[in-house]
Amino acid sequence: MRMLSKSAWLAAAIALCLQPARTQAPEKASIAGDVVDGSTGRGISGARVRIQCGQDDPLFATADEQGGFRLTGLNFRSCQASARYPGFMGAQEAALQLSPSSPDGQVRLELRHYAVIEGKVTDTVGVPVAGVAVEALQRYPIGEPHNGYIYNDGNYQYVGSQRAVTDDLGEYRIAPLAAGSYYIFVRTGSYYASGPQSQPFDARARNTFYPHSLKPSDTKPVELAEGKQLRADVQIARQGGARLSGRILGLTGAQPGSFAWVRIIPLSPGGSGGFAKVTGDDFTAADILPGKYILEAGQFAADDMFSQNPLAAARRTVEVGAEDAAGIDLALAPTPDVSGTVIFESGCAAVPVWIQLQQDSYTPRSLHVDTDGRFVAQHLFPGQYKAYVQPETLANTFAASVKLGDTEVLKDGFEVTAETTGPLRIAMSCATR
């Protein structure tokens, strides 16, 4: 065997040392960042940080004295970071994409001090009213999509998602609220008080905007600054109205224990809504203010405690004046099932989607659609609907088209009648918008 010379061995060793070292890919990722006061930029010690990565269980960290935090041992995937601390609005979620090539995520979470609206609700003689809902509404142009209670007046919609209920002294407190303009709205029709302190419901007590108006266009909003507390006392407006009466036609006993209701929906600002009294197939409603209304009737199965799936329904528009109106018939018809499909454009991965069918005067209908794309919206109440669609995961897809039959309805919505069956076709795209 030939033996290598000493110089040959030295040369081989040097060559091995000069070979580039292999880079070992990281096995786990990490997220570090700061939680700060958005007004001052100072760190918020003790802020609670939540990290949600894909479908993994959420992880939590506590900010140190400078507001800093760090979480390690994370899987490579899309993550959402958020933070909370008492006295502040929750930070808007920040998205991060962790990968072997970018394993260390950095994020800055800004929190803003929230504001508070508080006050007292009294009746027309100054007695505190317990157990009524008070909401902080914000004004937007008609047609903009928003979630929450919606009140229409002229060219504007008043939307609210924050509310409180008055206590035994008529006091309320609404928080947390971001800085902005708010209309304070007392909904006398939602009455929660019970027990010895409760007061008899007065049908002539009207939904009231701060300080004492039947509609928002007759008043002005309150201006709320960041981190401030504002007081707004409301005196409930009281006004009499007309009596409506009629019959529900088509009620059947095919469903043992089924029940019916008649709902009154104001179309005129300041109108008086609520439910009529139903006895057999007769209904009556007292103290309805002048204006235009939709009268809806529905028949429901005995176990449908939340009135979500009407077996039959009727819908009619009426004009109410100063005089009582009798002989208003509401003819029930079976509610339709509307079938549909969700289709993903070529190149887009099929994922489960969430569909919300928002009706103009009824509880929104939510549907979960699996990757096969087929769905059926059962027992839809007659009326105008809009479809809101979004993926149930972090997939980069959106609804590019919603068609009822051959008509595009994504922007303007669609009408459901007793004859509507579909199909409702939803096309999802992953193209850059």
Please say if the pLDDT value at position 231 is more than 60: yes
Q: Are 311 and 255 in contact (CB under 8 A)?
A: yes
The pLDDT tens digits for 247-295 are 999 987 656 778 999 999 888 888 877 889 999 999 999 999 999 999 9
**147 or 194: which carries more pLDDT confidence?**
147
**Does the pLDDT of residue 78 top 70, yes or no?**
yes
Whether the full predicted model's pTM is greater than 0.85, yes or no, is no
**Between residues 115 and 2, which one has the greater pLDDT?**
115
**Strand 383-391 to 374-377 pairing:** unpaired
pLDDT at 198: 55
pLDDT over 70, % of the chain: 89
Least confident of 105-109, 230-234, 287-291, 362-366: 362-366
Residues 313-328 have a mean pLDDT of 94
- pLDDT of 87 reads 92
Query: Mean of the per-residue pLDDT values for the chain?
Result: 87
Q: Which residues sit opposite 176 in a β-bridge?
A: none
Angle at 383 between CA 136 and CA 365, to 5 degrees: 65
Per-residue pLDDT, 24: 61
Are 213 and 237 in contact, with CB atoms under 8 Å apart?
yes
196-218: pLDDT as tens digits: 555 566 778 888 999 999 989 99
What per-residue confidence (pLDDT) applies to 7?
A: 58
- d(CA 52, CA 432) in angstroms, rounded, equals 25
pLDDT at residue 12, rounded to an integer:
52
Instruction: Give tens-digit pLDDT for 50-74.
Output: 999 888 889 999 999 999 999 998 9
Q: Is the pLDDT of residue 124 over 70?
A: yes
Q: Tell me what the mean pLDDT of segment 129-148 comes to.
A: 88
**What domains appear along the chain, each with residue ranges and CATH number?**
29-112 (2.60.40.1120), 115-235 (2.60.40.1120), 242-334 (2.60.40), 338-429 (2.60.40)
Q: Output the CA–CA distances (angstroms, integers) from residue 155 to 142, 144, 214, in the order listed.
A: 6, 11, 17
Give the model confidence (pLDDT) of 379-431 as tens digits: 998 888 999 999 988 778 899 999 999 999 998 899 998 899 889 999 999 87
Task: Provide CB contacts within 8 A for 125, sequence distance 6+.
Answer: none
| Confidence (pLDDT) at 1 | 44
Least confident piece of the model among 13-17, 98-102, 114-118, 290-294: 13-17
Q: 19 and 66 in contact (C-beta within 8 Å)?
A: no
Q: Is the pLDDT of residue 20 over 70?
A: no
What's the number of CA atoms in the CB half-sphere (13 Å) around residue 62? Answer: 4
* % residues pLDDT > 90 (the chain): 58
